[in-house]
């Protein structure tokens, strides 16, 4: 009889323990949901705020940004914006949209952005140094605009960047040496600006030709037509070699004509 009660007591204790254990697991899961769900919402709202700040700062005569509604939980339904499966922005495509105004530092909050396409507009002012925070950026296309400040040194932090096209702006100052650290860089175009100083020719820049730096009269170095002050002049080009006359196979050269003997 005692053994029967003892067995029953053990079973009851085990059942209560299992119930408590399941309750604890449920509580932990519930707490995790409460912690991470707001973080996801906050993260999405940061991207909404960042892109809406850009909209406010730009003149948009063709209303291409009309769908950018800041009351939505994330910007993934906005036209010209592409998101990944986690509802985080990976592309902003606003090329050739007749936009003017200036970019905003809040763009640095788009942590998963891979493509920033703003080419062929009338955007002016500086390129925000905060773009250097976009660690996943693959393509930065700002060509054919009116940017009129220095190239940010922070762009040298974009280790995944493959395409950097800043041509046909009004950029000034020197080319940051930090850009030579971009080992993934495949396409570089800084032509048609007002850049000055030496053109780096080390690191990733050793892959590029003078066309990447053309029409910057104040640039100097081996990749330009101008030696830098204090550097020796460029050596003259080698002389052209005189090639021997070409003859058809099996034929000897014709003898030179001689005067007839009398």
Q: Which of 183, 60, 185 is nearest to 118 (CA)?
A: 60
Model pTM? 0.74
| Burial (CB count within 10 angstroms: exposed 0-12, middle 13-18, buried 19+), residue 251 | exposed
| Per-residue confidence (pLDDT) for residue 231, from 0 to 100 | 76
pLDDT at residue 110, as a whole number: 98
Exposure string for 220-238, b = 16+ CB within 10 A, e = fewer: bbebbeeeeeeeeeeeeee
Query: Strands (DSSP E) along the chain, which ranges?
Result: 58-59, 81-83, 89-93, 100-102, 115-117, 122-125, 139-141, 146-147, 163-165, 172-173, 187-189, 194-198, 218-220
pLDDT in tens, 18-60: 445 555 544 544 444 444 444 444 445 899 999 999 999 999 9
The pLDDT assigned to 225 comes to 84
At 210-238, the pLDDT tens digits run 999 999 999 999 999 889 988 777 666 56
One DSSP character per residue, 48-114 reads HHHHHHHHHHEE-TT-TTTT--TTSSSSTTSTTEEE-TTS-EEEEE-TTS--EEE--GGGGG-TT--
Give me the residue label for tokens 């509604």: 69
Q: Is the CB of residue 123 less than 8 Å from the CB of residue 102?
A: yes
- CA-nearest of 195, 191, 231 to 209 is 191
pLDDT given for residue 248 in this prediction: 61
Q: What residues does each domain of the chain span?
A: 37-190
Q: Return the pLDDT at 247.
A: 65
Domain 37-190 = CATH 3.40.50.720: no
pLDDT in tens, the chain (262 residues): 544 454 554 556 555 544 455 555 445 444 444 444 444 444 458 999 999 999 999 999 999 999 999 999 999 999 999 999 999 999 999 999 999 999 999 999 999 999 999 999 999 999 999 999 999 999 999 999 999 999 999 999 999 999 999 999 999 999 999 999 999 999 999 999 999 999 999 999 999 999 999 999 999 999 998 899 887 776 665 676 666 776 666 655 555 555 555 4
């Amino acid at each position: 009889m005692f053994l029967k009660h003892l067995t029953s007591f053990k079973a009851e204790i085990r059942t209560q323990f299992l119930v408590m254990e399941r309750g604890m697991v449920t509580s932990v899961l519930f707490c995790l949901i409460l912690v991470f769900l707001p973080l996801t919402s906050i993260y999405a709202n940061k991207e909404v705020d960042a892109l809406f700040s850009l909209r406010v700062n730009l003149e948009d005569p063709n209303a291409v940004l009309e769908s950018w509604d800041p009351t939505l939980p994330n910007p993934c339904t906005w036209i010209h914006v592409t998101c990944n499966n986690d509802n985080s922005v990976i592309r902003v495509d606003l090329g050739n949209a007749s936009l003017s105004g200036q970019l905003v530092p809040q763009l640095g909050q788009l942590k998963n952005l891979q493509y920033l396409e703003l080419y062929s507009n009338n955007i002016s002012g500086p390129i925000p140094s905060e773009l250097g925070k976009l660690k996943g950026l693959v393509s930065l296309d700002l060509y054919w605009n009116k940017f009129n400040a220095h190239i940010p040194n922070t762009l040298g932090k974009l280790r995944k960047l493959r395409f950097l096209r800043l041509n046909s702006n009004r950029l000034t100052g020197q080319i940051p040496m930090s850009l030579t650290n971009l080992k993934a860089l495949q396409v570089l175009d800084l032509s048609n600006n007002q850049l000055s100083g030496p053109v780096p020719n080390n690191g990733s820049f050793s892959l590029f030709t003078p066309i990447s730096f053309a029409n910057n009269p104040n640039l100097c170095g081996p990749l330009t037509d101008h030696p830098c002050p204090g550097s020796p002049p460029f050596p003259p080009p080698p002389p052209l070699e005189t090639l021997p006359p070409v003859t058809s196979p099996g034929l000897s050269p014709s003898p030179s004509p001689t005067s007839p003997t009398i």
